[in-house]
Amino acid sequence: MEQSRPLDMLNRARNNTVLVDLKNGLRYVGKLQAFDIHINVVLEEAEEHKDGELKRKLGNVFIRGDTIITISPA
Amino acid sequence: MEQSRPLDMLNRARNNTVLVDLKNGLRYVGKLQAFDIHINVVLEEAEEHKDGELKRKLGNVFIRGDTIITISPA
Amino acid sequence: MEQSRPLDMLNRARNNTVLVDLKNGLRYVGKLQAFDIHINVVLEEAEEHKDGELKRKLGNVFIRGDTIITISPA
Amino acid sequence: MEQSRPLDMLNRARNNTVLVDLKNGLRYVGKLQAFDIHINVVLEEAEEHKDGELKRKLGNVFIRGDTIITISPA
Amino acid sequence: MEQSRPLDMLNRARNNTVLVDLKNGLRYVGKLQAFDIHINVVLEEAEEHKDGELKRKLGNVFIRGDTIITISPA
Amino acid sequence: MEQSRPLDMLNRARNNTVLVDLKNGLRYVGKLQAFDIHINVVLEEAEEHKDGELKRKLGNVFIRGDTIITISPA
Amino acid sequence: MEQSRPLDMLNRARNNTVLVDLKNGLRYVGKLQAFDIHINVVLEEAEEHKDGELKRKLGNVFIRGDTIITISPA
C-alpha cells in the first residue's frame, strides 16, 4: 500500500471550505481553490477572522505559505 | 480538468487593483504590474496604508515577497 | 548495520498517536497520517491544546513543518 | 505581449534615486547602482533616515536583500 | 590528514547521552539515535528540561533541526 | 556597457576599511579581507561598536552574512 | 594573486581557541575542531559564557550555524 503524503490531504480538500490559521493570529475561512508545494494557498469567498470575530469579507485571497501554521477542513 | 495553482490567481489579477498586506502591518493598494515565484510584487499608482489611514502615495513600488502575508483583489 | 535516520522514527509512528509541539506554544495530538521531508505533517482525529487545555477538536489537520519543534509518540 | 517581471522595474530605476525601506524601520535614499536576484542592492550618494530624520550620509552602501521591505522611485 | 567535519562529532555521539539546547530555552537530554544534515535529531529515553527542572519524560522524540542551538555529550 | 552587480562594490572595497551594521545593533569597523555570495565577511583589525561606543578590539573577525544589514566604506 | 574567502580564516583558526558569539547573547570559547559551509561549528574544551560570566564547561559542543553572529580568534 502506498503511503499518504501531506499534500494528499490538501488535494482532497480542494473546493471544500477550510480554516487557515496564520502565525500572526489571523484565521482565513474559505473554499480551497489552489495550493502549491510552498503551501501558498488561494481561497475563494474568503473571510478574515481575528480572535473569533469576522474582520473582512474578501472575494479571492492569495496567502503566502510561510505565514501559515495549520490548514484544516471546516 | 487541470487543477489551478496559486499563481494563476495572481495572473488573473494583473492590471487590476489589489490589496497587499505585509507582516509589519502595512497595506499597499495599487495596480498589480508584475510578480514572480518568490511573490516579489510591483504595484503601480500605489498607496501605503497603516491602521486604515493613507500614509504615502507612491508611483511604482517593488515589494519583497518574504514580507507579504496576503494579496487580494480590491 | 545501517544507521537510522530521523525520518525512520516518524515512519514507525505512522497511524499511531503523536504529540506535535509548535513554536507558538500550541500542541496538536492526533494519529500521524502523513509527513514529508519538510516535516509538514497531517494528523487525523486531532486535538489542539494550549497550556494543557483542549481548545479545539479537528478532523484532519495539516501542520506546516517550519512551525514544529518536536514530535513524540503519545 | 510579454509580461513584465518585478526586476524589470528595478532595471528601469538604475541610476535614478530610490527609497529603500528596511524591516528595522530605517530608510535609505540614494542612486540605484546595482541589484541582484536576492534583492541585494547598492546605492550611491546614500542617506540613512530614521523616523523622517537624516541620520547619516554615506558614499556607497551595500544593503542585504533580506532586510528590505520595499523599493520605490523617489 | 583528513580534516574533521561537524557531523563527525554527532556520529561519534550516536547511542550516547547528549544535551540538546533549543532556541526557546528548552533542553532535551537523551540517547542520540539519529540525525541528518538538517540537524533534525531523534533522542531515545528523552527528558525535557526547563530552567534546570525536569518537565516531561518522553520515550522517543523527534526534534526539528532549525530549533536547535547546541548539541553536547552529557 | 555591462551593468554592475552588488558584489562588485564589495570587491572594490577589499583591503579598505568598511562599516558593517548588524541586525542586533552592533557595528563592526575593519579592513575588508574576504566575503562570499552569502555575504559572510571577514574583517582585519576589527573593532566592535555599540551605540557609538567601542566595545572590543578584535584581530580578525568572521561575520555570518545573515546577520548583516549594510556594508559601507568608512 | 588569488583572493581570500571567509572560510579561509576559519581554516587558519583550526585547533586554535576562538570566541563564538550567538544571536541569543551566549558566547562559546573553545578550540575550533571542525566547521562546514553552513558555519556549523564544533569546539573542544568549550566554555559557555553569558554577560561575561562562565556558565558551563563542556567537553565538545556542536553549534548550529544559523545561531552564530561572529567567530574570532581569542
CB B33 within 8 A of CB D12: no
pLDDT in tens, G51-62: 999 999 999 999
Closest Cα of chain E to C69: distance in Å? 5
Is B4 in contact with A33 (Cβ distance < 8 A)?
A: yes
Phi-psi domain of E5 (left: phi exceeds 0; alpha: psi -120 through 50; beta: other): beta
Q: Which three cell numbers stand for residue A29?
A: 475561512
Q: Residue ranges of the domains in chain F?
A: 6-73
The ipTM is 0.95
Chain D residues within an 8 Å CB radius of B30: none
Chains contacting chain F through 3 or more C-beta pairs under 8 A = D, G
Q: To the nearest whole angstrom, how far is the Cα of B59 from the nearest Cα of chain D?
A: 7
Q: Taking 90 as the threshold, does the pLDDT of residue G17 lie above it?
A: yes
Would the pLDDT of G1 be above 80? no
Condensed to tens digits (0 to 9), the pLDDT of residues B20-52 reads 999 999 999 999 999 999 999 999 999 999 999
Please tell me the predicted confidence (pLDDT) of residue D2.
Answer: 65
Q: How confident is the model at residue B3 (pLDDT cuts 50, 70, 90)?
A: confident
Contact B42 D73 (CB under 8 A): no
Average pLDDT, chain A: 95
Pairing relationship of beta strands E68-73 and E61-63 according to DSSP bridges: unpaired
Write out pLDDT tens, residues D11-31: 999 999 999 999 999 999 999
| Span between the terminal Cα atoms of chain E, in Å | 29
Chains near A with 3+ CB pairs less than 8 A apart are B, C
Cα G59 from Cα G29, distance rounded (Å): 11
Residue F28 near residue F20 (C-beta atoms within 8 A)? yes
D6 touches chain B (CB under 8 A): yes
Span C11-64, pLDDT tens digits: 999 999 999 999 999 999 999 999 999 999 999 999 999 999 999 999 999 999
Asked if the C-beta of G72 comes within 8 angstroms of chain F's C-beta atoms, the answer is yes
Whether residue F60 and residue G73 make contact (CB cut-off 8 A), yes or no, is yes
What's the mean per-residue pLDDT of chain E? 95
Q: What is the mean pLDDT of residues A5-27?
A: 97
- What string of pLDDT tens digits covers the 74 residues of chain E? 467 899 999 999 999 999 999 999 999 999 999 999 999 999 999 999 999 999 999 999 999 999 999 999 99
DSSP 8-state secondary structure symbol assigned to residue D7 = H
- Residue E3 is predicted with a pLDDT of 79
Residues B72 and B11 sit within 8 Å (Cβ to Cβ):
no
B1 pLDDT exceeds 60?
no
Q: What is the pLDDT of residue G26?
A: 97
DSSP 3-state assignment of G52?
coil
| Confidence at residue A2, expressed as pLDDT on a 0 to 100 scale | 64
D20 residue type, one letter: V
> What's the CATH code, domain D6-73?
2.30.30.100
Chosen for mutation from E40, E57, E62, E68 (greatest number of chain C CBs closer than 10 Å) is E62
Confidence of residue G3 (pLDDT cuts 50, 70, 90): confident
Pairing of strands A17-22, A68-73: antiparallel
Question: Are chains E and C in touch, 3+ Cβ pairs below 8 Å?
Answer: yes
**B46–D9 C-beta distance less than 8 A:** no
